[in-house]
Amino acid sequence: MKALSLSLPTITATNSNLNYGSFSAASSYASLSSLQHRPSSSTTLFSMKKSVVRVQAENEDFELKQVRDMAAAKKRWEALLREEKIKVLTPKEAGYAVQLSNKPLLDVRPSNEHNKAWVKGSTWIPIFDVDNGLDIGTIPRKVTNFAMGGWWSGMPTLSFDNSFLPKVMEKFPKDAELIVACQKGLRSLAACEQLYNAGYTNLFWVQGGFEAAEEEDLVVEGSVPLKFAGIGGVSEFLGWTDQQRAAAAKEGWGYRLVFSARLIGLFLVADALFIGAQQAGRYLQEIRTH
């Protein structure tokens, strides 16, 4: 196997080196089956109970399949790294390779992350992208994703992009020294596996993803720091992500005050809505009594 034409320290990949996360319930390793339920007027309550049990069973089966899929994928990825079919780079080493040797960097993140920040000169081809569909199969997945933490993390429902491999093949020859990266390192491993199976033999995985990079490691463009591209939702608004807490430790109290003010504002809005609901309830009760 050819190596990058750049002097880099040797990195040995072990199980503890891998930065594994878990796909959300809507990550496209499995899909939630839609349920059809048409109760008759005489069996409504019984049918509703059956529907609840069925939904719970579907969710349990879905989560179990997801765990099994991730366990199987983890073993495959470990084997590819252990056998050095995929080489490992740190973000700093990837930055050297891109800036000094002009090596291609393939960004496989979904659009919601890439649009916030990206490495200058990189090629963006997502392996999973935001699912904007509203069909009967997508809506249950979006609801499940939101209920299982999407509201907090801001992570949208993602679907596998079937055009990923054709787009990469159109852009890069199979003997290209290709550096593959994502936000945390998980999807880029999945992308490396796809590319290796398609015949790419000079693959380099960025360990830990862009989230592990320091500001000086890569030349970045976009509206936010590269570390912040993967955060969102209520946690980002309140400044309760690990990335924001690390930034607050460097920036000091001025940075923290912004998010403290947001938290106070959120409590005030919640109080106002609660008081308003009480007043509306009393008003409706007075109308009924008269």
Catalytic residues: 182
Name the pairing type of β-strands 128-130 and 117-119. Answer: unpaired
DSSP secondary structure letter of residue 212: G
Q: How far apart are the C-alpha atoms of 79 and 72, rounded to whole Å?
A: 11
Q: How far apart are the C-alpha atoms of 112 and 74, rounded to whole Å?
A: 25
Environment class of 87 (CB within 10 Å of its CB; exposed 0-12, middle 13-18, buried 19+): buried
Helix or strand run (H / E) with residue 180: strand 178-181
Q: How far apart are the C-alpha atoms of 90 and 210, rounded to whole Å?
A: 10
Structure tokens at 272: 């106002």
Q: How far apart are the C-alpha atoms of 3 and 260, rounded to whole Å?
A: 49
The vertex-239 CA angle with 234 and 240, nearest 5°, equals 80
At 13 the three-state DSSP class reads: coil
Are the beta carbons of 122 and 226 closer than 8 angstroms?
Answer: no
Helices (H), 103-181: 111-114, 138-145, 151-153, 164-171
| CA nearest neighbour of 123 among 178, 80, 184 | 178
Q: How far apart are the C-alpha atoms of 145 and 244, rounded to whole Å?
A: 23
